[in-house]
């Protein structure tokens, strides 16, 4: 037996079998941790397959090379099919400039206390410098609440805080006067719905700040799915323009998030699977589980993810009401 030819052949067969298993799992997902992890990590797995194909090309393993590149193509098609409808570029009609009264754009940002940097408060400065009209804070504890109120209320005088000693606290800080604010539970997780007053040239709209249970096991996964279903029903019943922002604990291409968007009739503010940043290139291995969706009454002008140095701290988006009175410029 010649090990020099046998070992590469065995490795190639095992690798090809593994690629077939990944693709089958993507096409026919099941309620197993293994299946969910493959779905959530599929773009990174695709990069691994591409690297394996290059290695096979260098090592002259033609069968493995062809199989790897074919697997990359299939995964790319699956991901594109699951996500392409979410990422819509503005139409020519939407971008048309109307020389009439303009409606002021509204900017929102979201942050999690688990990502904020306390020492020297650089993240607080980043929040203030974002110039967002509304800021949502996830993971709001009493200690964080005191710090954020002291640090932000001179710029954000209107706020609503739901403190929690666990991970499901939620806060809303606004430069804009708020109308009604309502907090409600889905399962054991609090959600917040706030109406913007729409005074002056600001559009009147509803912002829903949401969070879901992290799907760390089968039980919590079922809770998360039930929460997304209930949230989609709630958002679908909102009349008028709305923004839904928060931690969905799902990647942009996941089946669960696609179902939520379809049922709630929302668009994704991202323009691609991976976010872009104010400084530097995209970080390929970030896991984007925080999302900003919007109703068809609105146009997304910009999506942004924000970092303090190499640390991701949050994301934001700017919207404008679709109207003959709107002057919209996409960036």
Reported as a single tens digit per residue, the pLDDT across 61-78 is 889 999 999 999 988 887
Looking at residue 103, what is its pLDDT? 62
Residue-range domains of the chain with CATH: 3-85 (no CATH), 87-321 (3.60.10.10)
Check: CB of residue 167 under 8 Å from CB of residue 139.
yes
CA-to-CA distance for 267 and 261, rounded, in angstroms? 7
Find the largest Cα–Cα distance for the chain: 83
The tokens of 183 are what? Answer: 């907090």
Tell which wins on pLDDT, 88 or 293.
293
The tokens of 97 are what? Answer: 């400039």
Looking at residue 131, what is its pLDDT? 85
DSSP codes of every residue in 317-331: EEEEE-STT-B----
Counting Cα atoms < 13 Å in the Cβ hemisphere of 266 gives 30
The DSSP letter of residue 91 is P
pTM: 0.77
Looking at residue 45, what is its pLDDT? 87
Q: What is the pLDDT of residues 220-231, one digit of tens each?
A: 888 999 999 999
Lowest mean pLDDT among 33-37, 244-248, 260-264: 33-37
CA 166 to chain centre: 22
Radius of gyration of the chain (CA): 22
Q: What is the mean pLDDT of residues 198-216?
A: 81
């Amino acid at each position: 037996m010649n090990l020099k030819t046998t070992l590469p052949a065995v490795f190639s067969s095992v690798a090809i079998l593994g690629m077939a298993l990944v693709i089958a799992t993507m096409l026919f997902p099941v309620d197993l941790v293994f299946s969910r992890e493959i779905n959530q990590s599929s773009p990174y797995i695709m990069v691994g397959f591409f690297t394996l194909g290059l290695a096979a090309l260098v090592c002259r393993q033609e069968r493995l090379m062809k199989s790897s590149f074919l697997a990359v193509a299939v995964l790319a098609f699956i991901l594109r099919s699951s996500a392409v409808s979410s990422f819509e570029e503005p139409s020519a009609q939407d971008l048309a400039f109307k020389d009439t009264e303009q409606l002021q754009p509204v900017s929102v940002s979201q942050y999690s206390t688990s990502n904020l940097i306390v020492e020297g408060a650089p993240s607080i400065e980043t929040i203030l410098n974002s110039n967002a009209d509304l800021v949502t804070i996830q993971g709001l504890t009493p200690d964080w609440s005191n710090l954020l109120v002291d640090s932000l209320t001179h710029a954000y005088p209107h706020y609503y805080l739901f403190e929690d000693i666990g991970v499901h606290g939620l806060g809303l800080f606004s430069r804009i006067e708020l109308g009604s604010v309502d907090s409600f539970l889905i399962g054991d997780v609090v959600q917040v719905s706030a109406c913007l007053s729409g005074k002056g040239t600001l559009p009147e709209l509803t912002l829903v700040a949401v969070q879901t249970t992290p799907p760390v096991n089968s039980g919590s996964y079922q809770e998360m799915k039930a929460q997304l279903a209930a949230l989609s029903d709630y958002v679908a019943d909102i009349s008028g323009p709305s923004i839904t922002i928060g931690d969905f604990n799902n990647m942009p291409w996941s089946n669960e998030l696609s179902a939520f968007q379809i049922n709630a009739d929302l668009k994704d503010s991202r323009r691609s699977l991976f976010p872009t940043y104010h400084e530097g290139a995209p970080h390929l291995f970030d896991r984007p589980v925080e999302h900003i969706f919007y109703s068809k009454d609105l146009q997304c002008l910009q999506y942004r993810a924000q970092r303090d140095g190499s640390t991701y701290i949050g994301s934001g988006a700017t919207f404008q009401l679709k109207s003959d009175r709107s002057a919209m410029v996409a960036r």
